[in-house]
Amino acid sequence: MKVKEIAKALATTPDTVRYYTRLKFINPGKSDNGYKFYSTKDVSRLKFILSARQLGFSVDDIKQILGEADHGKTACPLVRTLIIERLAETERQFKAMLLLREKMTLAVSKWELMEDKAPTPHMVCHLIEGFEHTALEEDRK
């Protein structure tokens, strides 16, 4: 298979395939014309890579995992360790986003009712500058 074919088969882009090829995650052969050709083994490997990405593993994680596997060792313990770390990080980000979302939603609704104001040397936009203050007042109620 050529690069566009394998990309389409696995629902990704040629650029992504080339990226992993560059990183030597997959090692396709070469035709006489210089085109790379991807075997079914390459397809399996790429499928693995894409699945791992979808599960939240980083490209560097995948490099480590492939490193183990390519030494014939089982990567399972590493995989279990890594996903726990990634999940913890995801959890942190998730909570941060939840907070941010609430904050933004509150801002949107508050700002709908407020008038416009011209800027002053010490005030760029009273909506933003006043927000934390008024938000705190709300909390106190």
- Chain residues binding DNA by CB under 7 A are 2-5, 13-16, 18-19, 22, 31-36, 53, 58-60
CB of 59 to a copy of itself, least distance (A): 14
CB of 74 to DNA, least distance (A): 23
**What one-character DSSP code corresponds to residue 96?**
H
| Nearest residue to 27 via CA among 57, 70, 78, 60 | 70
CA 51 to chain centre: 13
Task: Provide CB contacts within 8 A for 30, sequence distance 6+.
Answer: 36, 37
Answer yes or no: are the C-beta atoms of 29 and 49 closer than 8 Å.
no
**Given candidates 24, 118, 136, 140, which one binds a copy of itself under the rule CB under 8 A?**
118
The binding site for a copy of itself (CB under 8 A) comprises 40-41, 44-45, 47-48, 51-52, 54-56, 65-66, 68-70, 72-77, 79-80, 83-84, 86-87, 90-91, 93-94, 97-98, 100-101, 103-105, 107-108, 111-112, 114-119, 121-129, 131-132
